[in-house]
Every structure is written in C-alpha cells, then in structure tokens.
C-alpha cells in the first residue's frame, strides 16, 4: 500500500489524481491533502479519503473547514507552513506536487528535503529553482517522477536506450487555439476564446500558457532539469492531435515515441504507481482512436513566448525565475481584462530585458528574483 500526500488536491491534477487512486483502493491510501480556499470540495475529499491531515490557504479557510467537518479527526493546518507540513508528513511514500505557480515551490522543496519521491506536476518549481530542487532530491535520496504528459513520455522513451546514445529530446505541442490565427488578429482575442483549448481540459492559467506556448517553453526548461540535456538537444514540434506526447531521437536514427489519448490520468497513473503500471478504465485504442497524425515546425514569430523560454534557459541563473514570475502576473492581468492577449509576451519580454541575471543556487536568490519580476511586471501593466 503506497501512502500519498497531494499538494493542490482541489485543482485539476489533484482531482484527477484522486480519481485514479479511488480506482485502486488496494494499492494507494491518501494521508495528506493541501488545497487553497475551496473548502467545500476539500470537505468532500476529506470525507471520502479520510486523510490524517489537510492544509488550506489561510486561517479563515481553516476555521470554515473545521466548522463544516464538525468532529472529524483530520488535523487542519494552514498557510505556507501548513502546505510544507503536508509535503513532509511522516509515512508518506510519495508526494504529488500539483499546486499551480510559484506557490508550490517551498512545499515541493520541503518534500525533497524530507527524502520523498515526488510526482511533479508543478513545473514552475523546476523552472524557477531547478538547480536547488534537483540538488535536494539527489542529496536526500528521493526521486522526481514527471506527471506532465510530455515529460512522462520522455521518461518512458529514455528507458529504451542509453543516455550517451540520445541525439535529442522532441517535445510535442498542440499549438493551442491560435495555431492558425493570423498574428495581427491575436490582440483582439477574448479570454473565453483563449481558454477554449482544442484537446486538453485544464485550469485557466495553464490553458492561457498553452495558448501562448509559454507552457511549452516551461516544459523545455523542465526537461533540462529532469533529464540533464542542454537546450541545443531539446526541440519542439507542433502536433495538433496531442496523441504523440513526446519523442526521443537516438544517434542511430531511431525515434522512440510514447502515444496515448489526451487524458492526464494516464501519466498520473504511471507516476504514482512507478515502477509498476496499473490498469485504467481507458477504452482499447483503435485506428479510429488516433486518426491522422501530423507534425510541423514551430512558427516562432507566431509564438514568441517559446523563444523567450529558450533565451531564459540559455541565460540561466535567475532568468527562468524572472520569466515565470512576469508571466504569472501578465496572465493574471489578461484573465482579469487588464490587457490584451499579445500584452502577455510583450510584458514578459520587457521584464527580461530589464533584469540583471544572478546565480540561482539558493532559494532566497530565486524568490527575490521572482518577487522583483512580479513587481516589475505589475508596474509595466499599471503604466
């Protein structure tokens, strides 16, 4: 029986993780849950899964949850320290890191320091603090197991050969809702249209990142830290069908890919059950399941966010942290109607231009650069 704590249990990945767990009660038990302010959903999860402890965003939510639960034996904590407590719980064999954005960094780092295996969906933790996080994982004997479908695919394909024989990693991208939209029309797109992803159902922030292709840029940086390859060994191909999740090209010309329907429960199941596999309630695939598959190069003029991510990775240091922090603020501004869609990449690019890169070998340096990027981005948006 594998004991699991989940950071971000009320979000999209957290809910799907619990769905996978519920289908295999003989293999998994939930001992800790961390959420934000969604007290009602967290209450339902507590009643169903009976964790030992849960964390919510603030004291007000903690009081509301305690009142809703009544005499429940589940311990309730809150805030950043509460989330970290869930991440480092005694008895947890695996921590699912599914909090959105930079807020998930400290709890994920706490899990790493506690020597936990980490099933990672919070890509921002690696984007902004890849050196720090991977160092702590290695030092304390844990493992990083990717949940992102693309990195899960790479993880599986890399098992088919030796590292020295890898020519490059190929990440696939659907292209989002604006793959064929003329660039001069992007400034007028609405939030509703930008949130209408053609193949994946995700939270709002990651959906906008997928529309700009910033999400794919984050995945490039994440791949560097997960697998140890330089940016010149990582490529991105557009694959609108989202069936081939990523590929590894070997020096002999072989290309190993991992395929599957666009269902996040599949990579989640692989990550939490690794090194075994568990059965899922997916229909048997057929030729009709996949249909015609197509690939095309990225138009970097159409998707300049991806170029910014490669630039940040090449610059190194605190620049990826600045990329992420500025992007979070810019995406939030677009979602709230403060600026147009194309303003996201303009804002991020300008913040990067203004930043003086520093080493990113401590958590304080990373978080200081993140804070600077957010303040600078917000100032640019306000003006």
Q: What is the DSSP string of 19-61?
A: HHHHT-TTTEEEEEEE-SS-HHHHHHHHHHH--SEEEESSHHH
What are phi and psi for residue 332, nearest 5 degrees?
-60, -40
What are phi and psi for residue 207, nearest 5 degrees?
-65, -40
Residues 6+ away with beta carbon under 8 Å from 340 = 187, 188, 334
Predicted pLDDT of residue 338: 94
Looking at the DSSP bridge assignments, the partners of residue 32 are 5, 53
| Residue 146, SS3 per DSSP | strand
pTM for this model (two decimals): 0.91
Q: Which fold has domain 2-146?
A: Rossmann fold (3.40.50)
For 134-171, what is each residue's pLDDT tens digit?
A: 999 999 999 999 999 999 999 999 999 999 999 999 99
For 65-102, what is each residue's pLDDT tens digit?
A: 999 998 888 999 999 999 999 999 999 999 999 998 77
Question: So what CATH class is 316-383?
Answer: mainly alpha
For 23-63, what is each residue's pLDDT tens digit?
A: 999 999 999 999 998 999 999 999 999 999 999 999 999 99
**Band of residue 240 on the pLDDT scale cut at 50, 70, 90:** very high
Q: Has residue 199 got a pLDDT over 90?
A: no
Residues 6+ away with beta carbon under 8 Å from 245 = 149, 150, 152, 153, 172, 257, 258, 259, 260, 267
Chain-centroid distance, C-alpha 217: 12
Domain positions in the chain: 2-146, 149-261+284-314, 316-383
Contact criterion met (CB below 8 Å) for 250 and 167? yes
Token output for 348 = 């991020």
**Band of residue 214 on the pLDDT scale cut at 50, 70, 90:** very high
Token output for 130 = 């890849």
For 322-348, what is each residue's pLDDT tens digit?
A: 999 999 999 999 999 999 999 999 999
Query: For the chain, what's the residue count?
Result: 383
Flag the least confident range among 184-188, 195-199, 328-332.
195-199
Predicted pLDDT of residue 2: 97
Average pLDDT in the chain: 94
Bigger pLDDT: 247 vs 177: 247
Token output for 315 = 């610059």
State mean pLDDT over 205-222. Answer: 94
**Band of residue 206 on the pLDDT scale cut at 50, 70, 90:** confident
């Amino acid at each position: 029986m594998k004991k699991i704590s989940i950071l971000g249990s009320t979000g999209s990945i957290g809910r799907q993780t619990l769905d996978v767990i519920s289908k295999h009660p003989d293999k998994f038990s939930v001992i800790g849950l961390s959420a934000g302010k969604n007290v009602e959903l967290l209450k339902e999860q507590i009643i169903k899964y009976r964790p030992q402890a849960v964390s919510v965003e603030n004291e007000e939510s903690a009081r509301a949850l305690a009142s809703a639960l009544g005499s429940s034996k589940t311990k309730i904590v809150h805030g950043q320290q509460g989330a970290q407590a869930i991440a480092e719980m005694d008895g947890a064999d695996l921590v699912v890191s599914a909090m959105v954005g930079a807020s998930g960094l400290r709890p994920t780092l706490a899990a790493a320091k506690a020597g936990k295996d980490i099933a990672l969906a919070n890509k921002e933790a690696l984007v902004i603090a890849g050196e720090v996080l991977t160092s702590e994982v290695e030092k304390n004997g844990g493992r990083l197991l990717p949940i992102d479908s693309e990195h899960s695919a790479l993880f599986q394909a890399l098992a088919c050969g030796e590292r020295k024989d890898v020519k490059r990693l190929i990440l696939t991208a659907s292209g989002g809702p604006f793959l064929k939209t003329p660039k001069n029309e992007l400034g007028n797109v609405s939030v509703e249209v930008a949130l209408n992803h053609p193949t994946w159902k995700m939270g709002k922030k990651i959906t906008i990142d997928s529309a700009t292709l910033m999400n794919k840029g984050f995945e490039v940086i994440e791949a560097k830290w997960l697998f140890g390859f330089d940016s010149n060994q990582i490529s991105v191909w557009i694959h609108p069908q989202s069936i081939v999740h990523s590929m590894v090209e070997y020096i002999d010309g072989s290309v190993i890919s991992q395929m599957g329907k666009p269902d996040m429960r599949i990579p989640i199941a692989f990550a939490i059950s690794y090194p075994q596999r568990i059965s899922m309630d997916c229909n048997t695939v057929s030729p009709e399941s996949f249909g015609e598959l197509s690939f095309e190069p990225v138009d970097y003029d159409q998707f300049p966010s991806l170029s910014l991510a490669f630039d940040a990775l090449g610059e190194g240091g605190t620049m990826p942290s600045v990329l992420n922090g500025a992007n979070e603020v810019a995406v939030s501004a677009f979602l709230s109607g403060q600026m147009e869609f194309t303003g996201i990449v303009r804002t991020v690019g300008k913040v990067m231009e203004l930043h003086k890169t520093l080493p990113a070998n401590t958590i304080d340096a990373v978080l200081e650069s993140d804070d600077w990027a957010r303040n600078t981005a917000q100032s640019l948006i306000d003006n």
